Amino acid sequence: MKLTDKEIEQFDRDGFLIIRDFADTTECSAILDIAKVHLKYEITPIETEYEYIGIDDIKYKETVRRLRQVYDRDILFRNWMQSTKIRPILKQLLKDTPVLTLAHHNSIMTKHPHSSTETRWHRDIRYWRYQNDNLISIWLALGEENSSNGVLHFIKGSHKMEFSSELFDEKEYFVPTESEKNLLVSKIVTPTLNRGDIVLFHSKTLHSADKNRSDNPKISFVYTVKGLKNAPLPNTRSSSFDEVILYDDKVKRVSTNL
């Protein structure tokens, strides 16, 4: 599948693009079933709510926020990340051969009811270290994501906005002043997603997510790609995990060796 020129322009302008009904719903259900088993048995590596937000509360210590390193967990996860359907799209947007970065988003993300927290405004690039910031995350909704269960919000065009470093706190969450908020509020987009919908978003796009106020978990899949020419910086987390090159007709797992 390929994007139209209009869709490429939209991604470049807004910093994100939603593609409805992209993933087969049977594939989504199968991924969800496996994810639920890994969540039930808390198969490591995992990150808890406590590790994510740092609030010392037993309910946050017992709640899994994400399953990490999913590429190596199951063939179904791997197949989704290596889908040949998406490769031409990623190549169009990156203008390079896409490469999976196993170091970062390579996760099943969850928002559990009653014990999850909001995700504050941030840019994913905050902890990632590459020669340039041109990385794209692929978010797959495995079920409905709506205003009651932790929907994502994006700020249109924020991947191209320059902000003073003072507007980011010590964890690099974005903390806008009142005047910034007033300028940005009209640019917030909150898309309801259905099973099989994907959102492609740039590593500098500001996004956030609500807490889950429903009675069921929100479970999503997210992974990140970069271009082959965009190397990770030495001696960083970004360079300490393997990468998987997504050629048109094959994949190749490589060590970054940095």
Ligand X SMILES: O=C(O)CCC(=O)C(=O)O
Residue 226 β-bridge partners: 99, 135
CB 170 within 8 A of CB 115: no
Q: How far is the CB of 4 from ligand X (least distance, A)?
A: 27
Report how many residues bind ligand X under the rule CB under 6 A: 7
Q: Is 243 in the site for ligand X (CB under 6 A)?
A: no
Q: Is 73 in the site for ligand X (CB under 6 A)?
A: no
Residue 93 β-bridge partners: none
CA distance 73 to 223: 14
Q: Which is nearer to ligand X, 45 or 234 (CB)?
A: 45
CB 39 within 8 A of CB 110: yes
Q: Which is nearer to ligand X, 208 or 239 (CB)?
A: 208
**Structure token digits, residue 92:** 């169009």
Q: How far is the CB of 257 from ligand X (least distance, A)?
A: 27
Q: Is 119 in the site for ligand X (CB under 6 A)?
A: yes
Q: Which is nearer to ligand X, 175 or 254 (CB)?
A: 175
Residue 109 β-bridge partners: 66, 220
Q: Is 111 in the site for ligand X (CB under 6 A)?
A: yes
CB 14 within 8 A of CB 157: yes
Q: Which is nearer to ligand X, 16 or 22 (CB)?
A: 16
CA distance 79 to 74: 9
Q: Is 232 in the site for ligand X (CB under 6 A)?
A: no
Q: Which is nearer to ligand X, 22 or 128 (CB)?
A: 128
Q: Which of 150, 196, 227, 232 binds ligand X (CB under 6 A)?
A: 150
**Structure token digits, residue 117:** 């927290």
Q: Which of 138, 209, 219, 225 binds ligand X (CB under 6 A)?
A: 209
**Structure token digits, residue 183:** 């300028």
Q: Is 109 in the site for ligand X (CB under 6 A)?
A: yes
Q: Which is nearer to ligand X, 70 or 87 (CB)?
A: 70
Touching ligand X, residues 160-179 (CB under 6 A): none
Residue 98 β-bridge partners: 227
CA distance 121 to 141: 20
Q: Which of 207, 225, 246, 256 binds ligand X (CB under 6 A)?
A: 207
CA distance 206 to 190: 12
Q: Is 124 in the site for ligand X (CB under 6 A)?
A: yes
Residue 244 β-bridge partners: 100, 253
DSSP 70: G
Interface with ligand X (CB under 6 A): 109, 111, 119, 124, 150, 207, 209
